[in-house]
Amino acid sequence: MCINSAPSNSLSQKHPYNSHNIRLIPTLNRWRRLNKKKKKKMAKMGIEKTNEMEMKNLKLFMENQSIIKENERLRNKALLLHQENLTLLAQLQHNFSINN
C-alpha cells in the first residue's frame, strides 16, 4: 500500500461541480432563499391564522350558546302550548259529551 495513493473515485472528488451543476447553483440558491421567505411568511401567517381561528371559534361558540338558549325557550313554549292544547281538547270533549 502506498501512502500517497488516492482512492479510486478521486476524479469525481477533484471536480464535484460539472457544468450542469454550476448552472443550477443560482437557481438552487434562489429557490432556497424564496423557500426561506415563504416559511417565515407562513410562520407569521400561522400566528395570525391562529388568532383569526380562535376569534371565529369564539364567535361560533357564542352563537351556538344563543341558539341553545333560544331552542330551550322554544321547547318550553311548545310544551306549554301542548299542555294548553290537551286541556282545551279535554274541555271540548267534556262539553261535547254533556250535549249528547
Per-residue pLDDT at 74 exceeds 70? yes
- pLDDT tens per residue across span 26-47: 777 888 888 888 888 777 777 7
pTM for this predicted structure: 0.47
In a domain, 41, yes or no: yes
In a domain, 11, yes or no: no
Q: What is the DSSP string of 22-41?
A: HHHHHHHHHHHHHHHHHHHH
In a domain, 76, yes or no: yes
Give the whole-angstrom CA distance, residue 68 versus residue 74.
10
In a domain, 90, yes or no: yes
* Structural domain count of the chain: 1
In a domain, 8, yes or no: no
In a domain, 13, yes or no: no
Cell numbers 294548553 correspond to 84
User: What share of the chain in percent tops pLDDT 70?
Assistant: 77
Q: Give the DSSP H/E element, type plus range, for residue 9.
A: none
Give the domain extent around 71. 19-99
In a domain, 92, yes or no: yes
